[in-house]
Structure 1
Amino acid sequence: MLWKTYGERRIYTNHWVNLCLVDVEQPDGVRFEHHVVRLRNLAVAAVLNEHREILMMWRHRFVTDSWAWELPMGLVEENETPGETAAREAEEETGWRPGPMKPLIYAEPANGITDSQHHVFRADQATYTGPPTEKNESDRIEWIPLDGVRSMIDRQEIVSSGSLVGLLYVLLDETGR
């Protein structure tokens, strides 16, 4: 059942987000303006080491006033590929330079309201380069054993969709090995 679009207008815009009203018609003929949030694409880094541990950050998100573990991630810049962004963000946020980044999974976490694209990459090694250059990203950076990730998700210690999608896919990969 295809929805038809007749036009779009921005009602707010800045470097990070565009809020739009899209003139749409549903398959049943009802026509209205639908709010759409247009976001820049996101790249996520799932960095593992030889001990079956994954690199994560403990951080506060003011929007939901919550603390949780997250994978390194950031917005894809115009002059970067998503893989380059994932590697850069991992090093800036954690001080660990990932080895070769391999595409892991692609997701659109809320495609009924936003066009945000999440590109998740995996690296199976990393080299410590020094303290993170991004000082406002996290309180702690740790290598978390993969066998503890499921219980952390169950306890809602990991809640961001970019992290969840990446971690669950890594766990599926590891189960198949």
Structure 2
Amino acid sequence: MNVWLDDVEIPGIGRIEHHVLTMPRPSTTAVVTDDDDRFLLLWRHRFITDTWGWEVPAGWADPGEESLNAIRREIEEETGWRPGKVTELTSYNALSGISTMRFSVFHATDCTQVGPPPDASESTRVEWATIAEVIKFIADGQVADGPSLTALTYYLAMRTA
């Protein structure tokens, strides 16, 4: 990541100094569901905010790696489940006022469990949750991670539209 102070021209206001963050690679995240309308979630601690919460699988694309391949890898690494069908739902600029951070959101289905997650640092628990539980987690503030909150609420909104 690069951080710098840039001199920018804002129409109608003039020139100002503005911080800019550039990200080295795209980020990916996925809503993973099964045939029973359950969601695959990770319970994890985030040391920067010292918070616990439910999250969806997410991660960086490796240099030269397509986002679709990156999220397939991330799902398996973080959950121990190998995705079958993966489709892109949307993409967005996470912090467009200050950063180039770009997220692609995918939907993964037809997963096969291949074993425990290979990296135990990714989560404390990996669990399937019903749609009612996911909605409650969101309402109770247990999904506080921005990419997870965005991915889940986008998926739920499009599902009911």
1:133 corresponds in structure 2 to: 118
Match of 2:148 among 140, 163, 166: 163
What's the secondary structure of 1:58's corresponding residue? strand
**2:79 matched to 1:94?**
yes
Match of 1:84 among 56, 60, 69: 69
TM-score (norm 2): 0.94
1:74 to 41, 44, 59: 59
Structure-to-structure mapping, 1:1-177, within 5 angstroms: 17-39=1-23, 40-176=25-161
Bigger relative contact order, structure 1 or 2 (CA pairs below 8 A, ≥6 apart): 2
Structure 1 residues 173 and 25 mapped into 2: Cα distance closer, same or farther (>3 Å)?
A: closer
Structure 1 position 124, deviation (Å): 1.9
TM-score (norm 1): 0.86
Contact 2:26 2:60 in 1 (8 A): yes
String of CA shifts for 1:86-122, please: whole Å, max 9, x gaps.
1100000110001121001111121101110010100
Instruction: Report how far residue 22 of structure 1 moved.
Output: 1.7
Q: How far apart, CA to CA, are the structure 2 residues paired with 1:80 and 1:62?
A: 28
- Give the total of aligned pairs: 160
Distance 1:19 1:135 in 2: 31
Provide the C-alpha distance between the structure 1 equivalents of 2:11 and 2:159, rounded to a whole number of angstroms: 42
Moved more, 134-143 or 25-34: 25-34
Counterpart of 2:51, as a letter, is S
Query: What RMSD over aligned residues (CA atoms) do the two structures have, in Å?
Result: 1.2
Q: Distance in 1 between matches of 2:132 and 2:77?
A: 26
Q: Report the structure number with the largest CA radius of gyration.
A: 1
| Offset at residue 29 of structure 1 (A) | 4.5
Matched letter for residue 36 of structure 1: V
Alpha-carbon deviations, 1:58-108, whole Å to 9, x = none? 001111110010000000111211111111000001100011210011111
1:28 Cα deviation after fit: 2.2
| Unaligned residue ranges in structure 1 (runs of 5+) | 1-16
Gaps of 5+ in 2: none
CA-to-aligned-CA distance 1:107-141 (integer Å, 9 cap, x gap): 11211011100101001220000111122111000
